Homo-oligomer: A and B are copies of this chain.
Amino acid sequence: MAADRIIVFDTTLRDGEQSPGISLNPAEKLEIAHQLARLGVDVIEAGFPIASPGDFEAVQGIARAVGGPVICALARAHAADIERAGAAVRDAERPRIHTFISTSDIHIEHQLQSTRADVLAQARAAVAHAKSLCEDVEFSPMDATRADAEFTASVLQVALDEGATTINIPDTVGYAMPLEFAAFLGRLYELVPDLRDVVLSVHCHDDLGLAVANSFAGLQAGARQVEVAVNGIGERAGNASLEEIVMLLETRKADVGFSTGVNTREIARASRLISRLTGYAIQPNKAIVGRNAFAHESGIHQDGVLKERSTYEIMDATSIGLEANALVLGKHSGRHALRSALEELGFAIDGAALNAAFKRFKEIADRKKQVTAMDLEAIVTDELRVTTSAWTLAWFDVEASTRRPPHARVALRTADGDEIEGDFHGDGPIDAIFRAINAATKREARLRDFRIDAVTGGQDALGEASVVLELGGSTGSGQGVSPDIIEAATLAYVRALSNAERRVLEAAEASEPADELSPTP
């Protein structure tokens, strides 16, 4: 690999998925992994297999099905974690185990309740164990930027002695500043000359708004792997955002000389897919992928030639795949046209999934004059959600008025095919429906977050609803898409409830409580 080639390590499915309220099922994780492969990332951190049987299954499914990128699994410096991680990625074309332990005194004392000597011994044992299962081993000294450089260096030396092939320096709490972070890496290079023989990596959090700048400073200081997440999701303020790092390196290529293997034209689709499946909105002023990021999207007239456009745009919207997609279907379009259109969008769908998508497409085309590429993407993504539902929506009726309390009746189908009904007089129609669903399922779910967005502009846009709810100590999120926002909200609630129900059942059989796994790098 060329000296200036940057390895893009995507942790959307691991650090990103640890964000509160995100609960992706294995089918959704697989779809994201396929899109990350299309996007051309070098490494996919697919999950944390010890966390639950569902996490293990998702990582294993990705390792078996997704070709191209290295597939990586996270493990604390414990034998059981490393065994699980190794087993989960065993069938990948190119597997990696990523193991970590804190080197900061504050973490060693308060979180690990341990000693430096013990951390050193655990790091050695963990890397040796991982190396016995997998040639490609990454090691992270967690909270490194608040740790003693000399002690961290001695831990890194041990990891290198045992065969670690990538050393990742995490700014776990998002505390570093660019010059300071670069200087810290420089100090580690001085203390551990062997670092020059492996790939140095950076993993930065955005608590002070510096994740991208710190990552970039790390690359300029010699790192050649950058850990990122799509839309910058991740614990707290999230990780360095993939699209910002990649477009920074791309836009300033002539000046900084770095390159990546990313196909930037897949960025917009990756961003939409992940926003949709996680239920995490993207603010309009988000760099690169926000609605306003490109001037031509924001009402300033588009008729200028490209040269004039450079007066106010440093990037072209088409470079991230935002070109206005001309593809439009109508109510008379057949199954074949739908399939070709989906293929053009990168969805290889067949059999039962195509039938389900076609049925939804017809329902929507009956109510909406034109079905655009964006609509199709929303419908298909929405269909991915259906596989594991404990309940599905049969029908609802709701009446709302400023002049009397709203009343909802709803019927759901259970996995066994039974129809169950509930009804409720609520504060508002959505509230009434949600409580009617609780009544039908006999579940005491509590709404934690609720949002509705329009998929595209225009009066007959599809509505896209996101629900996060709490059930028996677990959270579940769900999305729904429909021209009718009440229907979208209802679908989202039923799916969130199904997801929460699955989490409750999983928690009961998990090897240890997910809480104890926090924090991670």
CB within 8 A of A460: which of B232, B299, B431? B431
Does A177 lie within 8 Å of B293, measured CB to CB? no
**A354 interface contact, C-beta 8 A:** no
Chain B residues whose C-beta falls within 8 Å of the C-beta of A232 in the assembled complex: 285
| B-contact bits for A437-452, CB 8 A (1 contact / 0 none) | 0000000001111111
Closest approach, in angstroms, between the C-beta of A445 and any C-beta of chain B?
9
Chain B residues whose C-beta falls within 8 Å of the C-beta of A291 in the assembled complex: 449
**A325 interface contact, C-beta 8 A:** no
**A196 interface contact, C-beta 8 A:** no
Chain-B contact segment, one of A37-45, A147-155, A186-194, A401-409: A401-409
Alpha-carbon distance A247/B209, docked complex (angstroms): 9
Closest approach, in angstroms, between the C-beta of A4 and any C-beta of chain B?
16
Alpha-carbon distance A247/B237, docked complex (angstroms): 13
Does B519 lie within 8 Å of A311, measured CB to CB? yes
Closest approach, in angstroms, between the C-beta of A336 and any C-beta of chain B?
26
Does B397 lie within 8 Å of A110, measured CB to CB? no
List which A444-466 residues lie within 8 A (CB) of chain B.
Answer: 446-454, 457-461, 463
List which A174-230 residues lie within 8 A (CB) of chain B.
Answer: 174-175, 177-180, 206-210, 212-213, 216-217, 220
Chain B residue at smallest Cβ distance from A278: B284
Closest approach, in angstroms, between the C-beta of A323 and any C-beta of chain B?
18
**A133 interface contact, C-beta 8 A:** no
Alpha-carbon distance A207/B252, docked complex (angstroms): 12
**A396 interface contact, C-beta 8 A:** yes
**A173 interface contact, C-beta 8 A:** yes
**A367 interface contact, C-beta 8 A:** yes
Chain B residues whose C-beta falls within 8 Å of the C-beta of A290 in the assembled complex: 237
**A476 interface contact, C-beta 8 A:** no
**A475 interface contact, C-beta 8 A:** yes
Chain B residues whose C-beta falls within 8 Å of the C-beta of A247 in the assembled complex: 208
Which of the four size classes fits the interface of chain A?
A: 35 or more
- One complex includes copies of this chain to the number of 2
Does A19 lie within 8 Å of B284, measured CB to CB? yes
Does A461 lie within 8 Å of B485, measured CB to CB? no
Closest approach, in angstroms, between the C-beta of A216 and any C-beta of chain B?
7
Does A451 lie within 8 Å of B449, measured CB to CB? no
**A428 interface contact, C-beta 8 A:** yes
CB within 8 A of A397: which of B308, B312, B403, B461? B403
Chain B residue at smallest Cβ distance from A209: B244
| B-contact bits for A250-268, CB 8 A (1 contact / 0 none) | 0110011000000000000
Chain B residues whose C-beta falls within 8 Å of the C-beta of A286 in the assembled complex: 237, 283
Does B463 lie within 8 Å of A20, measured CB to CB? no
Chain B residues whose C-beta falls within 8 Å of the C-beta of A340 in the assembled complex: none
Does B484 lie within 8 Å of A288, measured CB to CB? no
Does B213 lie within 8 Å of A299, measured CB to CB? no
Chain B residue at smallest Cβ distance from A220: B179
Does B428 lie within 8 Å of A463, measured CB to CB? yes
**A349 interface contact, C-beta 8 A:** no
CB within 8 A of A310: which of B106, B312, B399? B106
Question: Assuming the A-B contacts A177-B255, A461-B447, are A308 and B483 also in contact, with contact meaning beta carbons closer than 8 angstroms in the complex?
Answer: no
Question: Assuming the A-B contacts A207-B287, A212-B213, A428-B484, are A292 and B248 also in contact, with contact meaning beta carbons closer than 8 angstroms in the complex?
Answer: no
Chain B residue at smallest Cβ distance from A403: B395
Chain B residue at smallest Cβ distance from A445: B459
Chain B residues whose C-beta falls within 8 Å of the C-beta of A315 in the assembled complex: 207
Chain B residues whose C-beta falls within 8 Å of the C-beta of A310 in the assembled complex: 106, 110
Closest approach, in angstroms, between the C-beta of A402 and any C-beta of chain B?
4
CB within 8 A of A454: which of B209, B451, B457? B451
**In this complex, which of A106, A209, A251, A287 has the most chain B Cβ atoms within 10 angstroms of its Cβ?**
A209
Closest approach, in angstroms, between the C-beta of A133 and any C-beta of chain B?
29
CB within 8 A of A428: which of B283, B300, B449, B486? B486
Chain B residue at smallest Cβ distance from A256: B177
Chain B residue at smallest Cβ distance from A454: B450
CB within 8 A of A20: which of B292, B431, B452? B292
Does B447 lie within 8 Å of A434, measured CB to CB? no
A/B interface sample: 22 pairs, CB < 8 A: A20-B284, A174-B314, A208-B244, A208-B248, A208-B287, A209-B213, A210-B212, A210-B213, A212-B213, A233-B285, A235-B292, A235-B295, A236-B294, A295-B519, A367-B427, A395-B401, A398-B400, A427-B484, A428-B486, A446-B459, A449-B457, A451-B452
Told that A209-B212, A447-B461, A449-B457 touch, could you supply 20 new A-B pairs with CB distance under 8 A? A174-B287, A175-B314, A177-B216, A177-B256, A207-B288, A208-B287, A209-B241, A231-B285, A235-B298, A236-B295, A237-B292, A282-B283, A368-B427, A395-B401, A400-B429, A400-B484, A427-B460, A427-B483, A429-B485, A447-B459
